[in-house]
């Protein structure tokens, strides 16, 4: 995912979407919930509408928050007998709650080697699909990234992203199924990201998942994008293999499936999120700290652009590569929030310091797009073309500028990662304190098992090495998903689907009405198929020690936090 772009190029990016751009800039600035950074985004009013008119799904179509979280009490639709766990109301993706016949005496779905779940991810600019078994084997995965499409605009353009998802989705799902050698009717369920993310992008994946489930009579599992980032750390040993294993057809031991047993601390760092989470179980998350402004991935993306890098393959990887050639001590950029003894994050100040250094040592182009002029690019050029410098520079000057850029990149990364290090060290202490004061039985209680680092930025080698040192200093293992499962992908959604399905947090296949496109003869229905989505959806409740302010007055649009099975 790319950072929010501003300036003349953005207007060019979408002639007809000029107004939407301003609207979104305001919305993005005002957003309090985990955000993604987009160009010309338009909130999809449809996505906030309740589900189809029937009693199912319940009003507003999503689970209530845990006790103490304000939310309208929707009708509770239980999936099983009255002694079964309370799963809250259904999400509304399917036609009804999971049939009781699927559940065991504990109200759970037996999940194991023969359970095969397809996961679909389209929340932002990657179309991902994967097939994963209940015991954590990845049978097949496929991905279509849109980096090149958005690179020239300096941020994700939602309409372009939607179009790209629409043209890729069938092929990506088919490729994942083919790689897994599984036909759709053999699937146990389909999991799909329903939020947070860009509504018009989420919709593409959800429509595909609903269609497949309807066609083949499969249960559907709604997935929270950030929970998926965290839970992918629990996928087996990270291997991708097609070997079969017909044993182990039960999930009696909740933590036998993963490398990161609950409770664990997760540092989630992506393009739209920067969070420290105490994870005590599926759907049981305490947010110890979050982003007060920019997320780290966004800061990487923007800095890469300011440095004039080729961001076609992502700003983060480009900046990381440049930083390898630089001196991390060359610039003394401020490590953010040192005086605030909490676990929140802020990257806006660092970003400004970097911009000022760039302007001072490399010059400030007249149009404000720091390197467009230096690179000799006109507004019509493709900003992803690379880091060609102005040919009028002498060889010495070009070499000097190159060294300065590498030093700035390395120094930015040093301060940015130091911030992660300091906050994570404190969060480990907070998490241990919470668990020590808690009487909850395991897996919710007990000792902290490990530190998980996940999300796109977790593919960065410096981040991985630094957090490894923080964890070992605390006597904890560090669990890192392989880099390709850190950036958005289908495996993480399929795996989160496995974990949720096992808890019965799924719904029966959508009805024919749910997957049909309304016609004009049906005035009672909207002109477009209604799809329940949660574009703004917190992962958990905020810890009492977290002081971060909610900057938005639009909290009404934010869904109650994700939950799992309570009771």
Query: Which residues make up the interface to Zn ion (CB under 5 A)?
Result: 270, 488
**C-alpha triplet 524, 529, 534: angle, nearest 5°:** 110
Is residue 261 a contact point for ligand KG4 (CB under 6 A)? Answer: no
Nearer to Zn ion, 228 or 374 (CB): 228
Tell me if residue 538 falls in helix, strand or coil: coil
Distances in Å between the Cα of 500 and the Cα atoms of 56, 222, 266, 468 are: 20, 8, 18, 29
d(CA 310, CA 308): 7
Q: In whole angstroms, how close is the CB of 158 to ligand KG4 at the nearest point?
A: 14
Contact 120, 128 (CB under 8 A): yes
Is residue 195 a contact point for ligand KG4 (CB under 6 A)? Answer: no
Q: In whole angstroms, how close is the CB of 143 to Zn ion at the nearest point?
A: 13
Is residue 272 a contact point for ligand KG4 (CB under 6 A)? Answer: yes
316-322 long-range Cβ contacts below 8 angstroms, 24+ apart: 316/456, 316/457, 316/459, 316/460, 317/459, 319/409, 319/412, 319/413, 320/413, 320/460, 320/461, 320/462, 322/405, 322/406, 322/409, 322/410
460-479 mask for ligand KG4 (x: CB under 6 A)?
x-------------------
Contact 10, 153 (CB under 8 A): yes
Nearer to ligand KG4, 60 or 423 (CB): 423
Nearer to Zn ion, 118 or 124 (CB): 124
Helix (H) or strand (E) holding 223: strand 220-224
Q: In whole angstroms, how close is the CB of 358 to Zn ion at the nearest point?
A: 28
Nearer to ligand KG4, 189 or 492 (CB): 492
487-506 mask for ligand KG4 (x: CB under 6 A)?
xx------------------
Q: In whole angstroms, how close is the CB of 67 to ligand KG4 at the nearest point?
A: 29
Nearer to ligand KG4, 58 or 312 (CB): 312
Nearer to Zn ion, 240 or 459 (CB): 459
CB atoms within 10 A of CB 158: 27
Distances in Å between the Cα of 388 and the Cα atoms of 42, 360, 383 are: 34, 20, 11
Task: Please choose which of Zn ion, ligand KG4, none residue 457 contacts, taking the beta carbon within 5 to 8 angstroms, the exact cut-off set by kind.
Answer: ligand KG4
Task: Please choose which of Zn ion, ligand KG4, none residue 320 contacts, taking the beta carbon within 5 to 8 angstroms, the exact cut-off set by kind.
Answer: ligand KG4
Q: In whole angstroms, how close is the CB of 142 to ligand KG4 at the nearest point?
A: 16
Q: Which one, of 171, 170, 172, 148, lies nearest residue 160 by Cα?
A: 148
Query: Tokens in use for 288?
Result: 């110890």
Among 222, 308, 317, 443, binds ligand KG4 (CB under 6 A): 317
Three-state SS sequence of 199-216: HHHHHHHHHHHHHHHHHH
Q: In whole angstroms, how close is the CB of 491 to Zn ion at the nearest point?
A: 12
Among 459, 466, 514, 541, binds ligand KG4 (CB under 6 A): 459
Nearer to Zn ion, 80 or 123 (CB): 123
Q: In whole angstroms, how close is the CB of 225 to Zn ion at the nearest point?
A: 6
The count of residues interacting with ligand KG4 (CB under 6 A) is 21
Nearer to ligand KG4, 52 or 456 (CB): 456
Nearer to ligand KG4, 214 or 224 (CB): 224
d(CA 448, CA 461): 24
Contact 191, 120 (CB under 8 A): yes
Helix (H) or strand (E) holding 286: strand 284-289
Task: Please choose which of ligand KG4, Zn ion, none residue 460 contacts, taking the beta carbon within 5 to 8 angstroms, the exact cut-off set by kind.
Answer: ligand KG4
Q: Which one, of 264, 228, 239, 257, lies nearest residue 479 by Cα?
A: 264
Nearer to ligand KG4, 301 or 508 (CB): 301
Cis peptide before 443 (omega within 30 of 0): yes
Is residue 300 a contact point for ligand KG4 (CB under 6 A)? Answer: yes
Task: Please choose which of Zn ion, ligand KG4, none residue 89 contacts, taking the beta carbon within 5 to 8 angstroms, the exact cut-off set by kind.
Answer: none
Nearer to Zn ion, 270 or 434 (CB): 270
d(CA 345, CA 273): 10
d(CA 63, CA 78): 11
Q: In whole angstroms, how close is the CB of 316 to ligand KG4 at the nearest point?
A: 2
Among 155, 455, 504, 532, binds ligand KG4 (CB under 6 A): 455
Query: Within 345-364, which residues bind ligand KG4 (CB under 6 A)?
Result: none
Among 158, 456, 497, 561, binds ligand KG4 (CB under 6 A): 456
Is residue 260 a contact point for ligand KG4 (CB under 6 A)? Answer: no
Nearer to ligand KG4, 232 or 358 (CB): 232
* Residue 15: exposure state from Cβ atoms within 10 A (0-12, 13-18, ≥19): exposed
Is residue 270 a contact point for ligand KG4 (CB under 6 A)? Answer: yes
Query: Tokens in use for 168?
Result: 């890729």
d(CA 442, CA 154): 46
Among 92, 140, 222, 315, binds ligand KG4 (CB under 6 A): 315
Helix (H) or strand (E) holding 287: strand 284-289
Chain-centroid distance, C-alpha 24: 20
Nearer to ligand KG4, 112 or 317 (CB): 317
Report the Cα–Cα distance between both ends of the chain, in Å, rounded. Answer: 38
Q: In whole angstroms, how close is the CB of 132 to Zn ion at the nearest point?
A: 17
Query: Within 97-136, which residues bind ligand KG4 (CB under 6 A)?
Result: 124
- Which one of the spans 6-14, 56-64, 186-194, 450-458 is the region binding ligand KG4 (CB under 6 A)? 450-458
Task: Please choose which of ligand KG4, Zn ion, none residue 315 contacts, taking the beta carbon within 5 to 8 angstroms, the exact cut-off set by kind.
Answer: ligand KG4
- Which one of the spans 145-153, 231-239, 268-276, 508-516 is the region binding ligand KG4 (CB under 6 A)? 268-276
DSSP structure class, residue 276? E
Chain-centroid distance, C-alpha 96: 27
* Sites of contact with ligand KG4 (CB under 6 A): 1, 124, 270-272, 297-298, 300-301, 314-317, 320, 455-457, 459-460, 487-488
């Amino acid at each position: 995912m790319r950072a929010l772009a501003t300036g003349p190029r953005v207007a060019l990016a979408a002639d007809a979407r000029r107004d939407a751009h301003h609207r979104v800039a305001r919305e993005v600035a005002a957003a309090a919930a985990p955000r993604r950074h987009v160009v010309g985004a338009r909130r999809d009013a449809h996505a906030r509408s309740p589900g189809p008119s029937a009693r199912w799904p319940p009003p507003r179509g999503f689970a209530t928050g845990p006790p103490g979280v304000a939310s309208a009490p929707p009708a509770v639709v239980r999936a099983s007998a009255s002694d079964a766990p309370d799963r809250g109301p259904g999400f509304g993706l399917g036609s009804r709650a999971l049939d009781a016949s699927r559940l065991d005496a504990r109200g759970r779905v037996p999940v194991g080697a023969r359970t095969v779940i397809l996961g679909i991810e389209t929340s932002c600019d990657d179309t991902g699909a994967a097939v994963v078994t209940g015991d954590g084997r990845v049978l097949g995965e496929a991905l279509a990234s849109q980096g090149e499409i958005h690179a020239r605009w300096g941020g994700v353009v939602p309409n372009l992203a939607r179009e790209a998802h629409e043209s890729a989705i069938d092929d990506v799902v088919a490729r994942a199924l083919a790689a897994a050698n599984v036909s759709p009717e053999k699937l146990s369920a389909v999991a799909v990201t329903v939020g947070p993310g860009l509504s018009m992008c989420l919709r593409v994946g959800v429509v595909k998942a609903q269609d497949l489930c309807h066609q083949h009579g499969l249960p559907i599992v709604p997935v929270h994008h950030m929970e998926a980032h965290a839970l992918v750390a629990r996928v087996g040993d990270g291997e991708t293999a097609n070997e079969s294993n017909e044993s182990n057809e039960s999930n009696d031991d909740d933590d036998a499936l993963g490398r990161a047993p609950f409770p664990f601390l997760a540092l989630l760092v992506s393009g739209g999120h920067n969070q420290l989470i105490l994870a005590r179980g599926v759907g049981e998350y305490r947010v110890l700290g979050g982003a007060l402004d920019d997320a780290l991935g966004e800061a990487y993306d923007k800095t890469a652009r300011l440095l004039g890098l080729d961001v076609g393959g992502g700003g983060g990887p480009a900046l990381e590569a440049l930083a390898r050639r630089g001196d991390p001590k060359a610039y003394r950029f401020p490590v953010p929030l040192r005086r605030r003894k909490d676990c929140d994050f802020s990257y806006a100040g660092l970003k400004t310091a970097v911009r000022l250094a760039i302007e001072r040592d490399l010059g400030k182009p007249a149009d404000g797009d720091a390197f467009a002029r230096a690179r000799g690019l006109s507004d019509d050029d493709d900003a992803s073309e690379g880091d060609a410098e102005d040919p009028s520079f002498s060889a010495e000057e070009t070499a000097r500028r190159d060294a300065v850029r590498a030093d700035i990149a390395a120094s930015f990364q040093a301060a940015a990662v130091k911030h992660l290090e300091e906050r994570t060290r404190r969060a480990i202490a907070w998490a241990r304190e919470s668990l020590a004061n808690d009487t909850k039985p395991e897996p919710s209680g007990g000792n902290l098992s490990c530190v998980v680092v996940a999300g796109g930025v977790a593919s960065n080698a410096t981040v991985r090495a630094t957090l490894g040192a923080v964890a070992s200093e605390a006597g904890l293992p560090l669990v890192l998903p392989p880099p390709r499962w850190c950036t958005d992908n289908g495996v993480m959604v399929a795996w989160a689907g496995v974990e949720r399905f096992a808890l019965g947090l799924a719904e029966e296949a959508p009805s024919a009405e749910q997957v049909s496109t309304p016609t004009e003869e049906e005035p009672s229905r909207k002109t477009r198929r209604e799809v329940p989505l949660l574009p703004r959806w917190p992962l958990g409740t905020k810890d009492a020690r977290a002081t971060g302010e909610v900057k938005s007055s639009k909290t009404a649009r934010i869904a109650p936090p994700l939950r799992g099975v309570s009771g």
